[in-house]
């Protein structure tokens, strides 16, 4: 096997700058946090301004200080009814295929860990754009075996 050796610095992926980005939902799972809070764990593919993908994990919890993210996620992605009903699950959240996120940088002041990107908020996309859910995505997708040539 041949390869180009890299330094420790080169092995660490570069962080996204603070800002607003397009993202894709890769996975969502219902979990319970260490403190016993119900959580939805997202794995998102966030695209840099040049289109390079970055994987960022986020956790939605309806607890003090973070409840705004649940509301903003729902309202930005066509899940207003779920929010107003007071119920959101990973299965429902996974219906959101593409979304808009605000990314921040969490700086580790202890020096024990690397700095990392965090999702700080969920943003609405173009208000005139159709809602981006699995149902609308399926309507746009087709099976190329149906093409008669």
- What is the per-residue pLDDT across 78-137, written as a single tens digit (0 to 9) for each? 999 999 999 999 999 999 999 999 999 999 899 888 899 999 999 998 655 544 444 444
Q: Give the pLDDT of residue 127.
A: 54
Burial (CB < 10 A; 0-12, 13-18, 19+), residue 8, is exposed
CATH architecture of 17-141: Beta Barrel (2.40)
Q: Give the pLDDT of residue 125.
A: 82
Give dist(CA 59, CA 119) in Å, integer: 9
Q: Give the pLDDT of residue 11.
A: 79
**9-28: average pLDDT:** 91
What whole-number percentage of the chain has pLDDT above 70? Answer: 84
Question: Residue 65: left if φ>0, alpha if ψ -120 to 50, beta else—which one?
Answer: left
Residue 147 has pLDDT above 60, yes or no: no
pTM for this predicted structure? 0.77
Q: Which of 18, 51, 42, 55 is nearest to 91 (CA)?
A: 42
**32-60: average pLDDT:** 95
For the chain, give every domain's residue range.
Answer: 17-141
Q: Give the pLDDT of residue 128.
A: 52
Residue 61 has pLDDT above 70, yes or no: yes
């Amino acid at each position: 096997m041949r390869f180009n050796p890299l330094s420790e610095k080169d092995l660490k992926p570069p962080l996204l700058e603070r800002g607003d980005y397009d993202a894709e939902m890769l996975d969502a799972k219902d979990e319970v946090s260490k403190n016993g809070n119900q959580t939805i764990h997202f794995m998102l593919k966030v695209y840099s301004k040049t289109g390079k993908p970055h994987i960022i994990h986020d956790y939605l919890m309806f607890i003090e200080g973070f409840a705004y993210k649940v509301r903003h996620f729902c309202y930005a992605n066509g899940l207003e009814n779920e929010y107003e009903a007071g119920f959101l699950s990973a299965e429902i959240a996974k219906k959101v295929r593409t979304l808009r996120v605000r990314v921040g940088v969490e700086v580790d002041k202890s020096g024990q860990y690397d700095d990392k990107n965090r999702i700080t908020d969920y943003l609405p996309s173009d208000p005139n754009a159709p809602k981006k859910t699995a149902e609308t995505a399926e309507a746009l997708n087709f099976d190329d075996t149906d093409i008669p040539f």
